[in-house]
Structure 1
Amino acid sequence: MSLSQDLFTVIRTGDSVQLTTLLAEQPALVNVRSPQGISAVLWAHYTGQTDLLPTLLAANPQLDIHDMAAMGDLSRLRALLADNPSLARAYSRDGFTALHYVAFFNGSTDLASSLLEAGAEVDAVARNEQQVTPLHSAAAHRHNAVIQLLLAHGANVNARQENGETPLMEAAQNGDTALVGDLLARGADPMLATDDGRTAANFAATAGHADLAATLRGKMA
């Protein structure tokens, strides 16, 4: 196994002692990327090992706008955008924009607003098999303040991701009655179904939200 593979394995397993040792022996490792093009900082977010971020940051990694978006680093993100606003629309090597990362990982309306003001596409579709928009990402983690911001900027409430899932289905699965109501009020279609035929009502019922499932079935009548 290469040292770069070791790095991503150590991050995934949350081994802070071994991570410190690796970076002390090979400081340049902090800037290597996975075969999918993911940075060590993003990998810590993807694997839920954000407790390792102080160790990674102490090694002075070269951060890009996607790292900053995931971490919620507003000042440095704004500085990058001031120099190059087109970064707001740039895709990471694994297919997401900075707005996707903000919507999914931290839910910061300040970061999301800065990106939108710089020209980020509110309905940017991930360039990978997930095909999510930022609204899907925010709905998945119940970042409702960002959801409201995206909706205010005209986000498509009926956007379809992989397998045809919509933000309404995400909200229904989470049992988020308030968000379901808001999405419906903004034109979300409860009749839409996934590729295998499931509606938002089915998502709610499967997740044990019987009352919400009944409400959604009523909207389909």
Structure 2
Amino acid sequence: MRRARLRLRGGLAGLCLFALLSVTQAADIDELVGAAVRDNPGQLRRLLEKGVDPNALDSQGRLALVTALQEESPKSIELLLDDGRIDVRRRNRAGETALMIAALKGNLDMVLRLLDLGAEPDHAGWTPLHYAASNGDPRIVELLLARGVRVDAESPNGTTPLMMAAGYGSESAVRLLLKAGAVPERRNARGMDAADFARMASRNALAEGFEDLKRRRAARRQP
């Protein structure tokens, strides 16, 4: 009985220690991401040297590298990329990777660097091409297409990069996607196609261009 009580106490002590370590680690990760937000290289370096995992999600589901790119924190980005443990393929709770954010920001140099470090140019769900098409540099759209990504990749609700370009991106991105074979007739789960996205953004000339293209494509299919 005495041995059983000792084992129970030992087990409880182990659980308490594990819980304490978990709370401490969670606080450290929150602090790490916070340092990336503030672009505080001193604090960030101290936490990395302490052994805090730069690939762990904080309490808000954020990743240090992805957040640093979102906040445009250059010193933090460099420190994180120089850390031998960094995994550029990791996603935050929203499913975003560092490459997706770099593409959205139109940061061509960073896109190239992340690809060299092993970032995935294409994957399930929202993709770097969706993000590049929506507001990035058309050169990034061209680069990703050259890497063989799916031009009509579908987000979870069926939205394609062409729809994003039509509603939020540049007409240069639209032309690049169409040239690569994007299908303007595709519709997402809300029944919207690229022309609808353009109209929603009051880009009426672009919307009419899509409608004209669809008419010409339909005419070519006629026997």
Could you state the TM-score of these two structures normalised by the residue count of structure 2? 0.64
For structure 2, which runs of at least 5 residues remain unmatched after alignment? 1-25, 48-53, 55-63, 216-223
Q: Which residue of 2 aligns with 1:76?
A: 79
Residue pair 2:99, 2:119 contacting (<8 A) in 1 also: yes
- Give, in whole Å, the separation in 2 of the partners of 1:156 and 1:72: 31
Check if 1:165 corresponds to 2:159. yes
After superposition, the Cα gap between the structure-2 partners of 1:162 and 1:202, relative to the gap in structure 1 and judged at 3 Å, is same
Alpha-carbon shift at residue 59 of structure 1 (Å): 7.1
After superposition, the Cα gap between the structure-2 partners of 1:149 and 1:78, relative to the gap in structure 1 and judged at 3 Å, is farther
Alpha-carbon shift at residue 31 of structure 1 (Å): 4.7
Q: Which residue of 2 aligns with 1:102?
A: 102
Amino acid at match of 2:185: M
After superposition, the Cα gap between the structure-2 partners of 1:77 and 1:144, relative to the gap in structure 1 and judged at 3 Å, is farther
Amino acid at match of 1:120: A
Q: Which residue of 1 aligns with 2:50?
A: none
- Give, in whole Å, the separation in 1 of the partners of 2:122 and 2:169: 24
Amino acid at match of 2:100: H
- Give, in whole Å, the separation in 2 of the partners of 1:135 and 1:41: 29
- Give, in whole Å, the separation in 2 of the partners of 1:41 and 1:134: 26
Q: Which residue of 2 aligns with 1:65?
A: 65
For structure 1, which runs of at least 5 residues remain unmatched after alignment? 1-27, 45-52, 126-130
Amino acid at match of 1:160: E
**SS of 1:164's equivalent?**
coil
Q: Which residue of 2 aligns with 1:91?
A: 91
Q: Which residue of 2 aligns with 1:208?
A: 202
- The CA RMSD measured in Å over matched residues stands at 2.9
Alpha-carbon shift at residue 182 of structure 1 (Å): 1.2
After superposition, the Cα gap between the structure-2 partners of 1:151 and 1:211, relative to the gap in structure 1 and judged at 3 Å, is same
**SS of 2:87's equivalent?**
helix
Q: Which residue of 1 aligns with 2:213?
A: 219
Could you state the TM-score of these two structures normalised by the residue count of structure 1? 0.65
After superposition, the Cα gap between the structure-2 partners of 1:181 and 1:78, relative to the gap in structure 1 and judged at 3 Å, is same
Alpha-carbon shift at residue 188 of structure 1 (Å): 0.6
Determine which structure has more spread, i.e. the larger CA radius of gyration: 2
Q: Which residue of 1 aligns with 2:221?
A: none
After superposition, the Cα gap between the structure-2 partners of 1:176 and 1:79, relative to the gap in structure 1 and judged at 3 Å, is same
Q: Larger deviation: 142-151 or 164-173? A: 142-151
Write the deviation string for residues 74-97 of structure 1: whole angstroms up to 9, x where unpaired. 6435423xx35x712222344322
Residue pair 1:69, 1:98 contacting (<8 A) in 2 also: yes
